[in-house]
Amino acid sequence: MFVRCITERYPNSIFKIAAHPKYSQHFKNLSNIKSFSYLEYLIDTFTNKIFKKNTYRQWVEESADATVHIGGSIFIEPAKFIPPQNYYSNPKIFFIGCNFGPYKTNEYKEFTFLRLQKAEDVCFRDKYSYDMFSDLDNVRVAPDVLFGYKGYPTPKTGYGIGISVIDLENRSDLKHMADEYYNVIAQIVDDCVFKGIPVKLISFCEDEGDKKAIQEITNRCKTNRAEICEYNGDIDAILDEINECEYVVASRFHAMIIGWCLSKKVFPIIYSDKQTNVIDDVGYFGAKWDLRKEVYTADKLFKDTTSSNNHNIERFIKEADSQFEALDDYLKYEGDFI
């Protein structure tokens, strides 16, 4: 969705994606996008492994008029952070829709500060991240890019509950909560089936274990009548699946955003500060389950979910457009290769 946002906004610009070629199939209908070939990807992976440097990716950046990083958690400190010896940064680099953290060391924060300092423009998606680097003149803040996504279907009233899930076994800080989380979701599924309420388990990202989490949950269910919805690159299809629901239990950050944009009654399940920061920014005061702080029963989760109300995010839909403000200005006057 991030890629579609930017490529459809600038149809006369050519974008090259530095990623595994398997992702290119998701963008085959976008004529202004080019992905790494398999050979290019292998060269880049090999040089990074041997020389600790993405040689091909750097060459692409050097030959481009500009570089854009668009996404959410761009600045997460790795388990063992070692500042790169040969870090290349395009003089015209734009960071769009990002947040900072989680981080552990001042060394990583200082390295990020230097990266941002060299950027043409930085637009965070939350005030917490903005406040961390607000001393920089090129740093701004605006609502998450997907608040302003133009391809949402017309919101329906919907019926039933959609539950986006995550794999807690894959998160060292929350692994101890995995059994409780899976059991509660499984009981919600059983309760919905018993009451005749449609229920969907939604996987956003197989690579991060969503599909595995669904398997864990269904193994604990007494019934096998929950609908399974897996994102496979067809954005419109997964948006339609969510649009059919009345309520969204959102473990995934963007399940929360998408749910609000489709006028769903959203119950957030929190696993990271990036969620609480945006929840605070948009003034959401409804019920939520913070996995890091509290225990929830299935009965309470069902009650709080079905008592949720729509959250008005009209203002944030309009303000999200300013994420692209600096890039708008740049592409208006400069070349058309990104």
Average pLDDT, the chain: 92
User: Do 209 and 217 touch, CB atoms closer than 8 A?
Assistant: no
| pLDDT band at residue 333 using 50, 70 and 90 as cut-offs | very low
Q: Cβ distance 96 to 323 under 8 Å?
A: yes
Per-residue pLDDT, averaged over 274-279, amounts to: 96
Whether the pLDDT of residue 53 is over 50: the answer is yes
pLDDT digits (tens, 9 = 90+) for 145-184: 999 999 999 999 999 999 999 999 988 899 999 999 999 9
Nearest alpha carbon to residue 210 among 243, 188, 185: 185
pLDDT score of 337 more than 70: no
Residue 88 vs residue 197, higher pLDDT: 197
What's the CA gap between 107 and 112, in Å, rounded? 9
Q: Over 80: is that where the pLDDT of 29 sits?
A: yes
For the stretch 122-145, pLDDT in tens is 999 999 999 999 999 999 999 999
pTM given for the model: 0.93
Superfamily of domain 161-312: Glycogen Phosphorylase B; (3.40.50.2000)
**Statement: residue 87 has pLDDT above 80:** no
* Mean pLDDT, residues 55-70: 89
Encode pLDDT of 218-243 as tens digits: 999 998 889 999 999 899 999 999 99
Phi first, then psi, for residue 127 (nearest 5°) are: -70, -35
Q: Is the model's pLDDT at 26 over the cut of 70?
A: yes
The b/e string for 78-89 (b: 16+ C-beta within 10 A; e otherwise) is: eeeeeeeeeeee
Average pLDDT, integer, range 188-203: 96
Q: What is the pLDDT of residue 58?
A: 86
Percent residues over pLDDT 70 in the chain: 98
On the question of pLDDT at 336 being above 80, the answer is: no
**Sequence-distant contacts of 27-31: CB under 8 A, at least 24 apart:** 27/3, 30/3, 30/4
Nearest-angstrom CA–CA distance, 257 and 253: 7
Q: Using 50, 70 and 90 to split pLDDT, how confident is the model at 335?
A: very low
Give the start-to-end residue ranges of the domains of the chain. 2-149+318-333, 161-312
For residue 330, name the pLDDT band (cuts at 50, 70, 90): very high
- Place 338 in a pLDDT band, splitting at 50, 70 and 90: low
The whole-number average pLDDT for the span 258-273 is: 97
Ranking 16-20, 117-121, 236-240, 249-253 by mean pLDDT, the lowest is 16-20
Lowest mean pLDDT among 54-58, 95-99, 255-259: 54-58
